[in-house]
Structure 1
Amino acid sequence: MSSVLSKNHKQGEVLCFGELLLRLSPDEEGRWLNNNSLPFFIGGAELNVATALSLWDIPCKYFTALPQNNLSAEIVRHLNKKNIDISSILYQGNRIGIYFLTKGKDLKNDALIYDRANSAFADLKPGMINWDEIFEGITWFHFSAICPAISQQAADVCLEVLKAASAKNITISVDLNYRSKLWQYGKKPSSIMPQLVQYCDVVMGNIWAAEFMLDIPVLGDIHETGQKSTYLKEALSTSKQITRLYTKCKAVANTFRFDTDNLISYYTSLYTEGDFYNSYEYKTNKIVCKVGSGDCFMAGLIYGLYHNHQPQELLDFATAAAFQKLFINSDATTQTVEDINKAIKYE
């Protein structure tokens, strides 16, 4: 697995690129109205990754755009306390993006409402950033498919930064997280994401995200059997196609989380260097928060690859980290490496 990182003789900072968001979390029963209290969390997929990596002692820088005001200043001080390098944050624009997500719900259906139009990040344009300065000391760049889903302009910025990172031989990872409510500017994900994924060394997502974003079809009705072996077979097929179509890609990870009869099952897979690995299948009937579990898995992948851990070892760590995140009431994990290692289960 070391071949993924062999381009970098010495590991530097990981740069996570994306929009910082405030998540407001009303309960379904309307108690927030009676109590005049609306719980909020600081998040955003890429910030969740940065928070986990910094907690796990990997030097991490975060790039986003924020308005120059007292609210931003307080948030930045909060991030600084988490040992996240915030030196590259761009201050511009008028607002921070917000989204509403009903407590305990998934990022889909009517439980999710976005309010992020014309945010400081959404107003970024190509040519605004000196990426040579931003990439000083960076050996890993991470972004997600949420950024190019915002607008064509945001997608153009993503392409610009990926070209700059690739030119500097920086390892690049992407999370193919699909948000249907964001892709509203007349372009399908499959017309945008392939030109971005071509720059990526590590691709994380699931077989359905690969279908939506990369036009790699899921064959047949694989839900018919509901068998782990069937899903993993499809993950292997999808992973092989991704590495064939995107020759820079050296590792493909897939996550599977199913909610059936109040029982949640979670497992993952990793394809790299021609070998296929899968994790223990975790199960629970009680969770606290579904937000950020995938981000935690992504952070676990980066953590393992950064340290050149063996494929099965890093997959086991990332999977346990993601599963344990389901029991934490925040957008990012609060568990240490030691906590996660104690939680790992094996087949």
Structure 2
Amino acid sequence: MSNPLLTLRPAADCQWDMVALGEVMLRFDPGERRVRNARSFDVWEGGGEYNVARAAARTFGLRSSVVTALPDNELGRLTEDLIAQGGVDRRHILWRDFDGIGRNTRVGLNFTERGFGLRPALGVSDRANSAASQIAPGEIDWDHLFGVAGVRWFHTGGIFAALSATTAQVAIEAVEAARRHGTVVSYDLNYRASLWNSHPDPDAARAVNRRIASSVDVMIGDRHGFETCLGLELGKPPAGDPMDGDDFAAVAPQFAATFPETRLVAATLRRPTTSSQNGWSAIAWADGQVHRAPVRETVDILDRVGGGDAFVSGLAVALMEGHDLDTALGWGTAHGALAMTTPGDASMASRAEVIALASGGDARTIR
């Protein structure tokens, strides 16, 4: 099916349905314990950009690949093995020589507590000097990837762009090349002050993200991202329930007026009651209209990390398959809700489960 909202390259003309650019980290999960008291951890792979491509592959059965870098040591090979288990192609991994102690390059680590009840989720990153943060402009032949091999949808985000001055430039060259070759580009602003504040240029976040935004078809962001990452002056936010989406409905047209190349702006809506329960929905703007997903007043959460990435993946896959925006929002919110019921960053849901929940299914036992 074709999609009237986005012009997508035919699947038969492309080697890849989706390619992501980003850092793939090892996530150490203490389960029900605290990081400070843990004696064992489950290990998952994850990364804000990678999670979207992984779900496209493992949950929805699409052809996905990731562009990243890893050290050629045991931790790098563990990460590669986890990527393989996720169904994501590894041929675009840049392998770095390892000096034996990690001074020159390493795998980024993320220790993440899921949180429970009144105790919030907690992430402790250990990612300085990672292989992915050292990717430099000119290392990837983007014109070959997008022009010769062919990619229908390219996804990256503000976490990767913020890793270093070089990754910011890599993100820029990637989105501009994708646009030249007719690949749909999605970008998740995903602002992380701890990353951008380490840049020597205090205006780096806004300069980089404004450059990227001019080549984006699908922008994932909200007021906070538009103000911090793009420097938009949006006025005072309206009072009210964050789940009603009124604030997004007010600021999305202002974003679109500044970046008219963008066809779709979308964001998740959360109402945190506790770490274990949230209200959950999503909202989007396209062609001058606001579209709202059904509101789930209470979503029980085991692990909230990756819920937003699962939303982006469900949204993108539905649009790639020719569904309308309302259906795509339904797939995205259903997928995000399901992803938050399992541990780790990555979705463990199936396509059938996503579609069933989006179509009004419930939690009755499947036999």
Structure 1-normalised TM-score?
A: 0.89
**After alignment, is 15-24 or 180-189 more displaced?**
180-189
Instruction: Say whether the 8 Å CA contact 2:237–2:247 is kept in structure 1.
Output: no
Match in the other structure for 1:18: 22
Match in the other structure for 2:6: 5
SS in 1 for 2:301: coil
Q: Which runs of 5+ in 2 are unaligned?
A: 98-104, 361-367
Task: Determine the C-alpha separation between the residues in 2 that align with 1:315 and 1:275.
Answer: 14
SS in 2 for 1:182: helix
Quote how far apart the aligned CAs of 1:237 are: 2.4
Match in the other structure for 1:283: 297
Task: Determine the C-alpha separation between the residues in 1 that align with 2:84 and 2:35.
Answer: 33
Quote how far apart the aligned CAs of 1:285 are: 6.3
Quote how far apart the aligned CAs of 1:225 are: 2.5
Q: Percent identity?
A: 26
Task: Determine the C-alpha separation between the residues in 2 that align with 1:287 and 1:228.
Answer: 17
Match in the other structure for 1:255: 268
Q: Deviation string for 1:157-202 (max 9, x for gaps)?
A: 1112122222222111101111121112143422321111110000
Task: In structure 2, give the amino acid aligned to 1:239.
Answer: A
Task: In structure 1, give the amino acid aligned to 2:69.
Answer: A
Q: 1:181 to 1:227 in 2, by over 3 A?
A: closer
Quote how far apart the aligned CAs of 1:129 are: 2.0
Match in the other structure for 1:91: 95
Task: Determine the C-alpha separation between the residues in 1 that align with 2:24 and 2:229.
Answer: 23
The runs of at least 4 aligned residues of structure 1 exceeding 6 Å deviation read none
Match in the other structure for 2:347: 333
Structure 2-normalised TM-score?
A: 0.85
Q: Which runs of 5+ in 1 are unaligned?
A: none
Instruction: Say whether the 8 Å CA contact 1:158–1:196 is kept in structure 2.
Output: yes
Quote how far apart the aligned CAs of 1:102 are: 2.4
SS in 2 for 1:239: helix
Q: 1:312 to 1:66 in 2, by over 3 A?
A: same
Match status 1:147 vs 2:139: no
SS in 1 for 2:194: coil
284, 296, 301: which one pairs with 2:315?
301
Q: Deviation string for 1:25-80 (max 9, x for gaps)?
A: 346855874x6213332100122111110020111111110111233233323322
Match status 1:226 vs 2:241: yes
Quote how far apart the aligned CAs of 1:7 are: 5.1
Q: 1:305 to 1:69 in 2, by over 3 A?
A: same
Match in the other structure for 2:123: 112
285, 298, 301: which one pairs with 1:271?
285
**After alignment, is 233-242 or 53-62 more displaced?**
233-242
Instruction: Say whether the 8 Å CA contact 1:67–1:120 is kept in structure 2.
Output: yes
Match in the other structure for 1:320: 334
**Where do 1:134-283 residues align within 5 Å?**
134-135=145-146, 136-183=149-196, 184-185=198-199, 186-188=201-203, 189-222=205-238, 224-226=239-241, 228-229=243-244, 232-260=245-273, 263-283=277-297
Quote how far apart the aligned CAs of 1:205 are: 2.1
Match in the other structure for 1:130: 141
Instruction: Say whether the 8 Å CA contact 2:217–2:262 is kept in structure 1.
Output: yes
**After alignment, is 334-343 or 126-135 more displaced?**
126-135
Instruction: Say whether the 8 Å CA contact 2:25–2:107 is kept in structure 1.
Output: yes
